[in-house]
Structures are given as C-alpha cells and as structure tokens.
C-alpha cells in the first residue's frame, strides 16, 4: 500500500468509493436520482478532494447548496445515519487502497465535511 501522492491516486479513490456508493441500497438512491452525468460528477469530486489535499483551484461548486438541495428534494429525510454510511465507505475505501499521512488527512477532512454538511442541511429545514 502507498500514500496518496497525486491526482491519479485521488481519482482512483473517488472512482472506487463512488462505485460502492452507487450500489448501496440505503444511500445509493440519493446519488443515483440526482446525478445524471457520473463522469462529470466524478471529475468534479476528484477536483474537490485534490484541492482539499494538495491545494489548487480546479474545483468549482458549492457543496453546501448541493447537499441542501438533495435533502429538500428527498423530503428532508437525510440523517446522520446516511452520513455515517457515507463515512464508513470513505474510510474503508481509503484503507483498501492507501495508507499514510495523506490517507489520514482525507479521513479527518471527510469527517469534518460530513458534520458541516449535515448541520447546514438540518439548519436549512427550519
């Protein structure tokens, strides 16, 4: 196993992770119902996680607004349970493919990101 060293490693992680997410019976529908162009979405998410790990400015988007919209469209049913499933897949995929400081950094950042996204979604319901 190796550390996450470059964009190609981030792309492998993102593609492997979302292959699992798409087939999950609990959270897969949230993604599959919204995302129409998976190639474009995976590229955007690779940009996002690459920026989070290595810096740069290739990412454009608003993850908070995107998640609030998904939550609204699903009737406000997304809970910490679904975010927990998401995190478990993220951690498991990282552990299957990588090790080291950058892998640990992406786990910490995903944990923070999931908390922040859920709180924003929850607060938008009021």
**Ordered structural domains, the chain, with CATH:** 7-124 (1.10.490.10)
Tell me, letter by letter, the H, E, C secondary structure of 14-45.
Answer: HHHHHHHHHHCCCCHHHHHHHCCCHHHHHHHH
* Tokens linked to 81: 């349970």
What are the pLDDT digits (tens) for 66-77?
A: 999 999 999 999
Phi, psi of 2 (to 5 degrees): -135, 170
Statement: residue 27 has pLDDT above 80: yes
Statement: residue 56 has pLDDT above 90: no
d(CA 49, CA 26): 24
* 111-115: long-range contacts, CB 8 A cutoff, minimum separation 24: 111/87, 113/63, 114/83, 114/86, 114/87, 115/83
User: By the 8 A CB rule, do 71 and 125 touch?
Assistant: yes
d(CA 55, CA 121): 26
d(CA 102, CA 75): 36
What are the pLDDT digits (tens) for 93-105?
A: 999 999 999 999 9
Mean pLDDT within 1-21: 97
Question: Nearest 5°: CA angle at 88, between 74 and 106?
Answer: 105
Mean pLDDT within 20-39: 96
């Amino acid at each position: 196993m190796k550390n996450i060293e470059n964009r190609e490693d981030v792309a492998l992680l993102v593609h492997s992770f979302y292959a699992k997410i798409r087939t999950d019976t609990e959270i897969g529908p949230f993604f599959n119902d919204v995302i129409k162009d998976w190639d474009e979405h995976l590229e955007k998410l690779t940009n996002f996680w690459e920026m989070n790990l290595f810096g740069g400015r290739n990412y454009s988007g608003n993850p908070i607004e995107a998640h609030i919209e998904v939550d609204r469209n699903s009737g406000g049913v997304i809970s910490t349970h679904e975010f927990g499933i998401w995190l478990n897949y993220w951690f498991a995929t990282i552990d299957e493919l990588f090790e080291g400081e950058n892998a640990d950094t992406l786990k910490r950042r995903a944990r923070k990101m999931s908390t922040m996204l859920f709180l924003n979604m929850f607060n938008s319901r009021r």
